[in-house]
């Protein structure tokens, strides 16, 4: 049989399957995955059925149905003050994963460098490599997982074509402030660098802070692809629907890729989302307090344990340091927790370079930095069964 030359030699089989199987075997509670254990709103499901039965079942337009793009533009204006054109600045995609992939393929190629920050969400690196470009990974700074903007400025070379940011951050739960965006703008000013901003958790920012979107930053808005997710916002991660907002010339290139990756995204879901955004604009803006209450409850339950943590500033993940509990490496620890405590957590490791495995065990997600002195940590989606931490 002819051997296959791998385009992604460092990407192995994920350990997620192994861990999920182990969790099932031990009846462990799974806090490792970033999705809610409750359903999307009833009204939204009603609208889905209406449009499915109303024969909205053929190809929608390549960029997404116009009513949905109009709702997105209205929301972007209301939240971030940016006027975006639904015709040529908004594109609906099949998940944020697709939007990130399209933006990378549209922008970078062989010889280009893309700066990203560790730990980074796992789909960034392979998308950069598939485009033929080189990922340049800078560590986020402990203890608060912030960006070292001086290190960023030093890492920029004539080959740097893109900087990827993620706020609120998965898995760290950190958020970028408006001042951070100013520093980013300053670092890339004068360079031909595009920003790819992953903002899928835009509505999950806690403690009276507001989300700082690149769309609300005059300078960055002109040089950014901003990616958002309906899945996260409407508790419907399985729909894999998202969108990208970018200036017209960026959007034109983005769509050249999108049209040959998926061409378009599920029709009746788009109609349902357009109606629901119009009927219930408060759904999105109430999410912060909704998830903050879950975070607070979760942290309250975690407090008496030997896990050490700073409450998450955003997303639905909570990092916690388990070094006071065990000297084990994170994989051994999560495996033992799954077996003995029926708690499934996933490792931070797979979100790092050369880390092919993701370990999920029934309640918590453990994530490890590869720096030898870094604390051992795990993260937990606040939405899921916090009582398991009593185990």
Contact residues for 25 (Cβ-Cβ < 8 A; gap 6+): none
Closest to ligand PMP by CB, 163 vs 341, is: 163
Closest to ligand PMP by CB, 97 vs 363, is: 97
Distance of closest approach, residue 254 Cβ to ligand PMP, in angstroms: 16
Provide, for the chain, the percentages of residues in helix, strand and coil under a 3-state DSSP scheme, each rounded to the nearest 5: 40, 15, 45
Query: Which residue ranges make up the site for ligand PMP (CB under 6 A)?
Result: 34, 95-97, 121, 166, 170, 198, 200, 229, 231, 237, 240, 242
Closest to ligand PMP by CB, 68 vs 341, is: 68
Neighbours of 203 (CB within 10 A): 22
DSSP 383: T
The two tokens of residue 354 are 């050369």
Closest to ligand PMP by CB, 23 vs 244, is: 244
CB 142 within 8 A of CB 374: yes
Closest to ligand PMP by CB, 229 vs 264, is: 229
Distance of closest approach, residue 290 Cβ to ligand PMP, in angstroms: 18
Closest to ligand PMP by CB, 237 vs 318, is: 237
Contact residues for 208 (Cβ-Cβ < 8 A; gap 6+): none
Distance of closest approach, residue 37 Cβ to ligand PMP, in angstroms: 15
CA–centroid distance for 32 within its chain: 14
Distance of closest approach, residue 355 Cβ to ligand PMP, in angstroms: 16
Distance of closest approach, residue 241 Cβ to ligand PMP, in angstroms: 7
Closest to ligand PMP by CB, 170 vs 213, is: 170
The two tokens of residue 373 are 């002195």
Helices of type H across the chain: 16-26, 42-53, 66-80, 96-107, 124-130, 149-155, 178-188, 218-221, 230-233, 248-261, 267-279, 282-285, 287-302, 330-336
Distance of closest approach, residue 346 Cβ to ligand PMP, in angstroms: 11
Going by C-alpha positions, the residue among 100, 55, 74, 94 that lies closest to residue 266 is 94
Residue nearest to ligand PMP (CB): 95
Bridge-based pairing state of the strands 90-93 and 113-118: unpaired
Distance of closest approach, residue 230 Cβ to ligand PMP, in angstroms: 8
Report how far residue 350's alpha carbon sits from residue 364's, in angstroms, rounded to the nearest whole number. 15
């Amino acid at each position: 049989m002819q051997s296959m030359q791998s385009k992604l030699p460092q990407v192995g089989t994920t350990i997620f399957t192994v861990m999920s199987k182990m969790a099932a075997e031990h009846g462990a509670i799974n806090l490792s995955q970033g999705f809610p254990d409750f359903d999307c709103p009833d009204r939204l499901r009603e609208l889905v059925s209406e449009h499915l039965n109303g024969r909205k079942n053929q190809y929608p337009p390549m960029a997404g149905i116009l009513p949905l793009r109009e709702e997105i533009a209205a929301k972007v204006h209301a939240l971030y003050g940016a006027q975006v054109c639904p015709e040529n600045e908004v594109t609906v995609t099949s998940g944020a994963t697709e939007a990130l992939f399209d933006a990378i393929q549209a922008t970078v190629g062989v010889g280009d460098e893309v700066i990203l920050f560790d730990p980074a969400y796992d789909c960034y690196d392979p998308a950069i490599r598939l485009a033929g470009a080189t990922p340049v990974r800078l560590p986020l700074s402990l203890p608060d997982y912030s960006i070292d903007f001086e290190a960023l400025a030093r890492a920029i070379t004539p080959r740097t074509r893109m900087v990827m940011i993620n706020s609120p951050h998965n898995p760290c739960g950190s958020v970028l402030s408006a001042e951070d965006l100013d520093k980013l703008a300053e670092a890339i000013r004068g360079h031909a660098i595009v920003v790819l901003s992953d903002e899928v958790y835009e509505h999950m920012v806690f403690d009276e802070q507001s989300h700082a979107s690149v769309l609300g930053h005059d300078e960055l808005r002109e040089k950014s692809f901003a990616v958002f997710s309906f899945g996260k916002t409407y508790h419907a991660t399985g729909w894999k629907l998202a969108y990208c907002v970018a200036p017209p010339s960026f959007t034109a290139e983005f769509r050249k890729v999108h049209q040959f990756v998926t061409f378009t995204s599920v029709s009746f879901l788009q109609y349902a989302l357009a109606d629901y955004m119009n009927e219930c604009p408060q759904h999105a803006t109430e999410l912060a307090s909704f998830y903050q209450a879950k975070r607070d409850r979760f942290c309250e339950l975690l407090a008496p344990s030997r896990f050490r943590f700073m409450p998450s500033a955003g997303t639905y993940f909570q990092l916690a340091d388990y070094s006071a509990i065990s000297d084990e490496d994170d994989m051994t620890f999560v495996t033992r927790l799954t077996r003995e405590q029926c708690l499934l957590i996933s490792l931070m490791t797979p979100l790092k370079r050369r880390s092919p495995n993701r370990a999920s065990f029934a309640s918590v997600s453990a994530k490890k930095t590869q720096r030898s002195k870094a604390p051992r940590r795990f993260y937990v989606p606040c939405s899921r069964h916090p009582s398991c931490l009593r185990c």
